[in-house]
Amino acid sequence: MNKDNGKLAVKRTATGLGLFALKTIPFNKRIVEYVGPILTNEEVDQKKGKYFFELNEKSSIDGSSRDNIARYINHSCRPNAKGYTTGKRIWIWSLREIKAGEQITINYGKSYFDEHIKPVGCKCEPCLKKSNNRSKKP
């Protein structure tokens, strides 16, 4: 189970649920660990889930358990956080200051984006704003 010390909360977003900062998170700060069982990539291919975070070319973490609050971090084309692998652990770090009340986001990567997000259209905040601005122009 992740211990977030009351600094994070899961809340409803336009795309489902997301992870939000309850307190300001400074730049370059470790936020949360992405946890779950480690699976081989062959096992990942058989499971067909959406909560796999690649550790290396041979294995991934299955973060599908609801005890893994990092699973609620949504994709953004302009993220405010990033996952870093240390051995067999993945830590999410802030890429800039994240204000209290702001959703924590990472870039899911090209292969995930192409397979799961692109077919339905990206709904991250920067893309929605860009889309809304285009539709408002005469």
Domain enclosing residue 71, as ranges: 8-136
Query: Which residue did the predictor score with more confidence, 2 or 121?
Result: 121
Could you tell me if residue 46 is inside a domain?
yes
Residue-level pLDDT at 111:
86
Residue-level pLDDT at 112:
86
Average pLDDT, the chain: 90
Considering its fold, how many domains does the chain have in total? 1
Percent of the chain beyond pLDDT 90?
67
Could you tell me if residue 2 is inside a domain?
no
85 confidence band (pLDDT: 50, 70, 90)? very high
Could you tell me if residue 118 is inside a domain?
yes
Question: Which tokens sit at 48?
Answer: 């067909």
pTM of the model: 0.87
Give me the long-range contacts of 80-89 (CB less than 8 A, separation at least 24): 80/104, 80/105, 81/31, 81/105, 81/106, 82/106, 82/107, 83/34, 83/53, 85/55, 85/56, 88/38, 88/55, 88/59, 89/33
Could you tell me if residue 1 is inside a domain?
no
Could you tell me if residue 3 is inside a domain?
no
Task: Find the CATH number of the domain harbouring 40.
Answer: 2.170.270.10
Round to whole Å and give the CA distance between 44 and 49.
Answer: 8
Round to whole Å and give the CA distance between 20 and 33.
Answer: 15
Residue-level pLDDT at 132:
65
34 confidence band (pLDDT: 50, 70, 90)? very high
Residue-level pLDDT at 51:
93
Range scoring the smallest mean pLDDT among 2-6, 36-40, 45-49, 101-105: 2-6
Dihedral of the alpha carbons of 101, 34, 117, 42, in degrees to the nearest 10: -170
